[in-house]
Amino acid sequence: MKLTISLLFGFATSLVHAAKAPNFIIIYADDLGYTQTSVPMMKDRPELGHSLHQTPHLERLAARGMRFSNAYCPSPVCTSSRASIQFGMTTARVGCISIHDVVMNKRKVDFEKNLSLAEMLKEADKGYHSAFFGKGCTPLGWFKDHGYDETDFIHKHPNGNAHGDWWEPAEKTLIPLDDPKRLFSLARNSIGYLERRASDKKPFFLTISHYALHVRNMSLKSTRRKYLDIVAERAGLEEEIPDISKFDDNADEMPVKLRSHWERANYAAMMEDMDTSIGMVLDKLNELGLQENTYVIFSSDNGGGASNKPLQGGKARMWEGGIRVPMIVAGPNVEANSQCDIPVAQWDYLSTMHDLSGSSAPLPENLDGVSLRPVLEKGNKGKLAKRDTGFVFHFPAFYTIPITSYRDGDFKLMRHLNTGETKLFNVAKDMGETNDLSKSMPEIKASMVRKLDAYLKKVGAWTMEEVYETRLEELEKWIAKHHEDIAEFNRQLKDNPKDKKSQSGLRKAKDDLVRHQRTFRQVTENKTSDRWF
Q: Are residues 356 and 371 in the same domain?
A: yes
- Rounded Cα distance between 186 and 152, Å, is 9
Please report whether residue 361 resides in a domain: yes
Q: Are residues 84 and 142 in the same domain?
A: yes
Which phi-psi region, left, alpha or beta, contains residue 380 (left: φ > 0; alpha: ψ -120 to 50)? alpha
Q: Are residues 319 and 402 in the same domain?
A: no
- Dihedral pair phi/psi, residue 205, rounded to 5°: -135, 115
Distance set, CA 464 to CA 255, 397, 412, 461, 526 (Å): 45, 8, 20, 10, 11
What is the model's pTM? Answer: 0.94
Domain boundary among 346, 381, 416: 381
Please report whether residue 285 resides in a domain: yes
| Cβ–Cβ under 8 Å, residues 111 and 139 | yes
Prior bond to 376 cis, omega within 30? no
| Cβ–Cβ under 8 Å, residues 95 and 107 | yes
Please report whether residue 237 resides in a domain: no
Q: Are residues 399 and 511 in the same domain?
A: no
Q: Are residues 304 and 160 in the same domain?
A: yes
Helix (H) or strand (E) holding 423: strand 422-426
Q: Are residues 177 and 301 in the same domain?
A: yes
Q: Provide the residue-wise pLDDT of the chain in tens; the chain has 533 residues.
A: 434 444 444 444 444 444 589 999 999 999 999 999 999 999 999 999 999 999 999 999 999 999 999 999 999 999 999 999 999 999 999 999 999 999 999 999 999 999 999 999 999 999 999 999 999 999 999 999 999 999 988 777 776 566 677 777 777 788 899 999 999 999 999 999 999 999 999 999 999 999 999 999 999 999 999 999 999 999 999 999 999 999 999 999 999 999 999 999 999 999 999 999 999 999 999 999 999 999 999 999 999 987 899 999 999 999 999 999 999 999 999 999 999 999 999 999 999 999 999 999 999 999 999 999 999 999 999 999 999 888 999 999 999 999 999 999 999 999 999 999 999 999 999 999 999 999 999 999 999 999 999 999 999 999 999 999 999 999 999 999 999 999 999 999 999 999 999 999 999 999 999 999 999 999 999 999 999 98
Q: Which amino acid is at 529?
A: S
Q: Are residues 373 and 475 in the same domain?
A: no
Q: How far is CA 249 from the centre of its chain?
A: 33
Helix (H) or strand (E) holding 323: helix 320-323
Residue 189's SS3 state is helix
Q: Are residues 26 and 125 in the same domain?
A: yes
Q: Are residues 316 and 375 in the same domain?
A: yes
Looking at residue 302, what DSSP letter applies?
A: S
Structural domain span for residue 428: 391-459
- The CATH number of whichever domain residue 439 belongs to comes to 3.30.1120.10
Domain boundary among 459, 474, 501: 459
Q: Are residues 142 and 173 in the same domain?
A: yes
The end-to-end CA distance of the chain, in Å, is 76
Please report whether residue 191 resides in a domain: yes
- The CATH number of whichever domain residue 39 belongs to comes to 3.40.720.10
Distance set, CA 294 to CA 85, 147, 372 (Å): 19, 20, 16
| Cβ–Cβ under 8 Å, residues 70 and 354 | no
Q: Which amino acid is at 498?
A: K
Q: Are residues 448 and 484 in the same domain?
A: no
Please report whether residue 267 resides in a domain: no
- Rounded Cα distance between 502 and 157, Å, is 28
| Total count of domains within the chain | 3
Q: How do the residues of the chain divide into helix, strand and coil, expressed in percent and rounded to 5?
A: 45, 15, 40
Domain boundary among 363, 381, 399: 381
Q: Which amino acid is at 243?
A: D
Please report whether residue 101 resides in a domain: no
Please report whether residue 395 resides in a domain: yes
Strand order in the sheet with 411-416: 391-393, 403-408, 411-416, 422-426
Distance set, CA 430 to CA 59, 320, 355, 425 (Å): 26, 10, 33, 7
- Rounded Cα distance between 107 and 124, Å, is 32
Q: How, if at all, do strands 344-345 and 71-72 pair?
A: parallel
Q: How far is CA 35 from the centre of its chain?
A: 16
The Cβ-side half-sphere exposure at 423, using a 13 Å CA radius, reads: 17
Burial 357-388 (b: 16+ CB within 10 A, else e): bebeeebeeebbbbbbbbbbeebeeeeeeeeb
253-254-259 Cα angle (round to 5): 165
Q: Are residues 434 and 356 in the same domain?
A: no
Please report whether residue 251 resides in a domain: no
